[in-house]
Amino acid sequence: MDTHRLLLSRVIPAAMAAGVTQMALGLNFALCWLTVFLASEGLARLATGRFKPGVAGTPTMRAVFLLGALPINLTWSWLAAAMWFSPLHDMRLAAASVWVGQIVYTQNFRHQPAALVAVSAFAPMVSLVVFPLFFFPDQGVGPNIARWGLVMVVATTLNVMLANRAAAKRMDALTRGLREERERALEANRAKSTFVAVTSHELRTPMNGLLGMAYALDRSNLNEAQRRHVRLMIKSGDSLMQVLNDVLDLSKIEAGKVELDRVAVNLHDLVRAAGDAWRDAAAEKGLWLKVEIAPSSPAWILADPQRIRQVLMNLISNGLKFTSQGGVTIQLSARNAPLADGDSEIRLRVIDTGVGVDANVHDRIFESFTQADNAVSRSHGGTGLGLTISRALARQMDGDLVLESGVGGATFVFTLHATPIAAQAVTAAVIDEVEDQDEPDLDALRILMAEDNAINQVVVRTMLEATGVGLTVVGDGQAALDALATETFDAVLMDINMPVMDGITALGEIRAGRGGDPAIPVIALTASAMSGDRERFLAMGFDDHLGKPIRPVELLSSICGAVRGKARGCAEAATGS
């Protein structure tokens, strides 16, 4: 409320005016006037106390508000009138100044109802006309000019008031329009997120069947040509999933919901592994791929290995994609001096000898769905999302991704801030963790799966039967509860969206003890892969979360992690899958 916001701008001048007035009208009058003024302010405060932001005022509340503002303005006009009638004729100038000041002050209310402006400006305007014309006995050129000059002040003020209120109305209309546009933009963004989530779910469900059966075929007895065709199917499916994951990552980044882990990671091994992952692809094109690690770079850091790997792999992929002769070099180094917070600035440079990037598109290549030109898109493919996502992830890690050079190839520099840690402590912790873990014997495991999609049932059954895991399949959450109440299982694979009883409700029933052992490991199988989905399901009480399409390695690793300590043999099965 303007009445509350402008309180100090009224009280401080009032105190100053009382101090000046006591010199001309006496201390008693000054104190009396200041007391009346403060009482008027208190009354106005009470009158506006019921107004709250976002709550529309009733006609009665508005009437009380206007009546509460009236005494304040009359008090100032009374002070000016007392000055005008003071024996000191020089005080008339002071009186005129008070009235003019009141008029100027009313401009603060240009966004308020016209009634408030009228209440605030009526007394000083009338005083500026009446007092000089009827209570100013002096005659002559000077007094007449003063009289009519004050009348012109009133007329000009009226004109300015009308102009200001018209401008204020236009400003209010523009502000409302901007708010509405903002709401529409937010609604469009929410609709986009919903569309991305639904599209992701609908694409991942059939892709789970396609890739799952392709993995199963790859494990079967095929001749060399058939195996090559199946692996091309898997590679194409993985490429499609990479595009979908890029779109999801972009959606997460735009929503500001990308969460970074801080775990111990061997940076040297991570960089070497990234290079090894692309070495065969480089050899197929007749290119070399080198990894150069500076001795000064920390081996162990606290950071998010998945996101570092994602950025690095994208840069290596781009380097190989746009290089036909020569090769790609990956350089790891670190800033010599630590940062103010004790972190180290890690620098990863990916240098290729490919086509390079024109200087006029250096910045544009980091925009979403953008490549250097259409010819690049036709020749090499891609969505143009990789660099956008990589730069956003780098900046979330307090670093950046820049194109250092685009002449005679391209040099991308990926920096991040991470906390170096001692390798000895990390190694000891890893050894202790490994020693404490027993590998499960897959032949001894009995798994219950609740899944209503027949194709997904076949996919998981095919993946697990080849490893010796015993699998029982039911079609909904209620059937899963019935099976758990009568049979013993080591873990449950639980779909989320099912008829009769969904997976989340079924989990609640299991944890409540209505389906056998309430502590049985339950793994969520879902096509939901939006930001925060994994964390959300873990918070509900699931032991793990697997997004579709399911890979055999991930499925076996999740089961082994959930039932670890009961048997042995997961590592070999996962490697073989």
- pLDDT tens, residue by residue, 374-392: 444 444 444 457 788 888 8
Angle between helices 7-25 and 59-84 (to 10 degrees): 30
Query: In whole angstroms, what is the distance from residue 555 CA to residue 211 CA?
Result: 13
Query: In whole angstroms, what is the distance from residue 419 CA to residue 262 CA?
Result: 9
**Long-range CB contacts (< 8 A, 24+ apart) of 497-506?**
497/452, 497/526, 498/450, 498/451, 498/452, 499/452, 499/475, 500/475, 500/476, 501/476, 501/477, 502/477, 503/450, 503/477, 504/540, 505/477, 506/450, 506/477, 506/478, 506/480, 506/481
CA proximity to 99, closest of 69, 70, 131: 131
CB 214 within 8 A of CB 233: yes
Query: In whole angstroms, what is the distance from residue 216 CA to residue 577 CA?
Result: 9
Q: Which residues contact 88 (CB under 8 A, 6 or more apart)?
A: 24
Query: In whole angstroms, what is the distance from residue 445 CA to residue 463 CA?
Result: 14
The b/e string for 283-301 (b: 16+ C-beta within 10 A; e otherwise) is: eeeebebebeeeeebbbbb
- Other beta carbons within 10 angstroms of residue 561's beta carbon come to 16
- DSSP H helices, 26-140, are 27-48, 59-84, 91-105, 114-134
- Other beta carbons within 10 angstroms of residue 433's beta carbon come to 9
Q: Which residue has the tokens 């005129």?
A: 96
Q: Report pLDDT for 424.
A: 53
pLDDT tens per residue, the chain (577 residues)? Answer: 455 566 777 788 888 888 878 887 888 988 998 888 888 888 877 777 666 655 566 677 667 767 777 788 888 888 888 888 888 777 888 888 888 888 887 877 776 777 777 777 788 888 888 888 888 877 878 878 878 888 888 888 788 777 877 887 888 888 888 888 988 888 887 777 677 767 766 777 787 778 878 887 887 788 888 888 888 888 788 777 777 777 776 666 666 666 777 888 899 999 998 898 888 889 989 999 999 999 989 999 988 888 898 899 889 988 898 888 899 999 999 987 777 777 889 999 999 998 877 766 666 777 755 554 444 444 444 445 778 888 888 888 989 998 887 667 888 999 999 988 876 555 554 445 444 445 556 778 899 999 988 888 888 888 888 788 889 999 999 999 999 999 999 999 999 888 999 999 999 999 998 888 899 999 998 876 555 677 788 889 999 988 877 888 888 888 888 887 444 455 455 445 4
Q: Structure tokens of 41? A: 């302010």
CA proximity to 419, closest of 531, 292, 260, 275: 260
Q: Quick one: which H or E segment has residue 287?
A: none
Query: In whole angstroms, what is the distance from residue 42 CA to residue 46 CA?
Result: 6
Q: Quick one: which H or E segment has residue 264?
A: strand 263-266
Amino acid letter at 221? Answer: N
CB 576 within 8 A of CB 466: no
Instruction: Give strand ranges (E) for 363-437.
Output: 400-405, 411-420
Q: How far is CA 172 from the centre of its chain?
A: 29
Query: In whole angstroms, what is the distance from residue 575 CA to residue 443 CA?
Result: 16
**Long-range CB contacts (< 8 A, 24+ apart) of 384-388?**
385/243, 385/246, 385/247, 385/249, 385/250, 386/246, 386/314, 386/317, 386/318, 387/314, 387/318, 388/250
Q: Structure tokens of 561? A: 């992690």
Amino acid letter at 134? Answer: F
Can you tell me whether residue 345 is helix, strand or coil? strand
Q: Report pLDDT for 380.
A: 44
- pLDDT tens, residue by residue, 291-321: 999 998 999 998 888 889 889 988 998 889 8
CA proximity to 74, closest of 44, 45, 94, 47: 44
CA proximity to 406, closest of 337, 330, 351: 351
Angle between helices 114-134 and 59-84 (to 10 degrees): 20
